[in-house]
Homo-oligomer: A and B are copies of this chain.
Amino acid sequence: MKSKDLRRTGMEMRQKLLGEDGQKALEKLQKHNPKIARWAVENLFGEVYGNEVLDLRTRSLCTVSALIALGNEGPLTNHMRAALRIGITREELGEVIAQMVWYAGLPAAIRAINILDRLPGE
C-alpha cells in the first residue's frame, strides 16, 4: 500500500478507536514529534489496526492486555475507552482484567478496574 493510502486507513482506524480525543492527541504529537506521529498513523493504525488478519475486537483486547501488564495508566485509559467505543462490553473487559491478575499481578489488575470504573458509560 502507498503511504497516502496507509495514512487514510490509519486516520480512519484512529477515529474509530480513539475518537475526537485521539484527534487532539495526534495534533499535539504532530507538532512536537512529526516522525513519531507519522509512525503512529501510518504504521501502527494503518498497517496494524487497519490489517484484517485479526478483527478489531481481538486487537483491542490484546492491546488492553499488554497495557495492563506494562502499567502505563494514560494509554491504558485511552484503550479501555476505545474498547467500549467499538462495542466491547464492561463484562468482557472485566474478564480480561481477571485473566491478567494471573499474568501481571493483582495490583496491575486493580488499577485497570479503577480506571474502568471511572470511564463514563451506561
**Inside 8 A of A84's CB, which chain B residues have their CB?**
none
Q: Which of A19-75 contact B (CB under 8 A)?
A: 28-29, 32-33, 35-36, 39-40, 43-44, 47-49, 51, 53-54, 57-59, 61-72, 74-75
Q: How often does this chain occur in the complex, in copies? A: 6
Closest to A65 in B: B62
Using C-beta atoms within 8 Å of the partner chain, give the interface range for chain A.
35 or more
Q: Taking chain A's interface residues, is the majority helix, strand, or loop, or is none over half, making it mixed?
A: helix
Q: Which residues of A are interface residues toward B (Cβ below 8 A)? A: 3, 28-29, 32-33, 35-36, 39-40, 43-44, 47-49, 51, 53-54, 57-59, 61-72, 74-75, 91-92, 94-111, 113-114, 116-117
In the assembly, what is the distance between CA of A22 and CA of B18, in Å?
Answer: 34
8 further A-B contacts with Cβ under 8 Å, apart from A36-B109, A72-B111, A103-B107, are: A44-B106, A47-B98, A65-B65, A66-B69, A66-B103, A71-B72, A102-B105, A103-B106
